[in-house]
Every structure is written in C-alpha cells, then in structure tokens.
C-alpha cells in the first residue's frame, strides 16, 4: 500500500525489500518498484553505504517483526541529509526495545530528530487497539 502511495506522489527509482517472496510478488504487480529484493530487517542489508536518498519503513517496528537493531542498517544505507522515516508501534510500551537504539543513534550524532506524529490507530478496522507513531530522523 505504501509503494502505491509513493508512486502516486511521483517518486521514482523505488527499491523494496521483504522477507516474503510472496509479498514481493504482490509488490511487483503494482509496477511502482524499480528493484525488489528478498532481505530480512535485522540482518546486514545487501546495499552499499549511503545508497538511498531516503528510507521508509512501515509496519515492521512492532513486536515479533523487525528488531531494533535494523535501525543501524537503515542509517548506514541512507545518505547524509536523507530522512529515515518509520512507523513504530507504541501501545502498551511496544516501542520500548526501539527507544534505546533511537536515542543511541541520536547521541552518537548519526541522525537527528526531525518530527513525529501523535499516536494514531493505523488500522482502525482490523487493529483498533494498536497505536503507532510515525517518526522522521535525518542522517548526519
């Protein structure tokens, strides 16, 4: 769904990754991605340093999905001055594993806080009790 929106906004040269080959097939059918690759957030990403002008991750920073350590790799593959935009689940302290990494990256000067949304229900029909926040940090 996010790829569709990015494409509608006019962005091009979009790379997508997912652990699931089936999800990559769904993404490929949308016709908005220039590259799709099977990768697992939390592992080393098979991209060069500073590869991307911006990085976006939606729906993976939640219990049982991508680990907080994936943020280090997202910073590594994003060019200085580029945003790392991510949603993080926040209800019932779900963001607790991510907060120390976010703060460490900031204190080490690897990124700086730009903005964040208030808490919101991103999927009100299917998950009305789960709240997320979208955060933007800029790579140094």
pLDDT tens for the chain, residues 1 to 140: 788 898 889 888 999 999 999 999 999 999 999 999 999 999 999 999 999 999 999 989 998 899 999 999 999 999 999 999 999 999 999 999 999 999 999 999 999 999 999 999 988 999 899 999 999 999 99
Contact status, residue 66 vs residue 60, Cβ threshold 8 Å: yes
**Distance of alpha carbon 5 from alpha carbon 135, whole angstroms:** 18
- Statement: the pTM of the whole predicted model exceeds 0.85: yes
Name, in order, each residue with C-beta under 8 angstroms of 78's C-beta and a sequence gap of 6 or more. 50, 51, 52, 53, 54, 55, 84, 139
Could you identify the residue written with the tokens 């016709």?
31
Question: Could you give the CA distance from residue 135 to residue 39 in angstroms, rounded to a whole number?
Answer: 23
83-89/111-116 β-pairing: unpaired
**CA-closest candidate to residue 15, choices 46, 60, 42, 59:** 46
């Amino acid at each position: 769904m996010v790829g569709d929106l990015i494409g509608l906004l006019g962005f091009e040269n979009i790379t997508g990754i997912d652990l699931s080959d089936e999800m990559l097939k769904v993404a490929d059918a949308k016709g908005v991605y220039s590259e799709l690759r099977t990768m697992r957030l939390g592992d080393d990403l098979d991209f060069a340093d500073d590869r991307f002008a911006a990085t976006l991750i939606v729906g993976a920073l939640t219990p049982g999905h991508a680990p907080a350590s994936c943020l280090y790799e997202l910073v590594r593959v994003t060019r200085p001055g580029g945003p790392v935009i991510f949603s993080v689940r926040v209800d019932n302290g779900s963001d607790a594993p991510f907060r120390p990494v976010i703060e460490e990256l900031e204190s080490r000067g690897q990124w700086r806080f730009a903005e964040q949304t208030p808490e919101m229900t991103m999927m009100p029909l299917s998950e009305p009790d789960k709240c997320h926040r979208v955060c933007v940090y800029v790579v140094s």
